[in-house]
Amino acid sequence: MRLLLLQHDPLDGPGALTEWAAERGYSLAICLICQGESLPPLDSFDLLVSLGGPMGSYEEKKHPWLVSEKEYLRRAVSAGKKILGLCLGCQLLADALGGKAFRHTCKEFGWQPIELLGAGRDWFGEDRDFKALEKDEKDIFYAFQWHGDTYSLPQGAVQLARNDAAEQQAFLMEAPSGGRVLGLQFHLE
């Protein structure tokens, strides 16, 4: 599998995704879109990962490349590509696909509990490698958070998870083109 990672800040890299890809023999390309690197052709990857970053999805005047990335995400969805958005990447996906990213009333930082909803239990499945807080809380797991923004769901997206601080923590969208889009507000990398 060929992975393309869109990096939004030179210091916010792919973390454990590099090791994960190497262990599976996947090729990995990184595009520092924030430094003006050109976005590669859509046929050059199988999975697109939009990483996190310190900016907001709505800060297009300050970071004009955000406009290009949102258009690229829309084209990738139309082409049937698999896409994963992490934190800022999740907000960019929501924005690009008809939802809206915006400043939240609170900031989340550190390891926080996330509650899987019905569709989230189905998506992540019984074999998921999440640690429950307690035996009777099988639908709660910890995830690392570092954000002050949130988003509204795009039309046709299914909410997978939430928590007390932010109603939107994960969504899934199946595009008519056959592509799957997974947005995670938290960091798994």
Q: What are the per-10-residue average pLDDT scores of the chain (189 residues)?
A: 96 92 96 95 97 95 97 96 96 96 91 91 65 57 90 94 93 89 92
For residue 156, being part of any structural domain is answered with yes
Angle between helix axes 88-96 and 65-78 (nearest 10 degrees) is: 70
Containing domain of residue 131, as a range? 2-184
Q: Would you say residue 147 lies in a domain? A: yes
User: What pLDDT score was predicted for residue 58?
Assistant: 96
Separation between Cα atoms, residue 129 and residue 138, nearest integer Å = 11
The answer to whether position 43 is within a domain reads: yes
pLDDT of amino acid 132: 46
Q: Is residue 72 part of a domain?
A: yes
Q: Report which of 71, 17, 51 is spatially closest to residue 146, judged by C-alpha positions.
A: 51
Domain count, the chain: 1
Quick check: is 189 in a domain? no
With tokens 């939107």, the residue in question is 168
| Residue 6, in any domain of the structure | yes
* Structural domain contains residue 39: yes
- Tell me, yes or no, if the pTM score tops 0.85: yes
Q: What is the domain-level CATH number for residue 78?
A: 3.40.50.880
In this prediction, residue 139 carries a pLDDT of: 83
Q: Chain centroid to CA 118: how far? A: 20
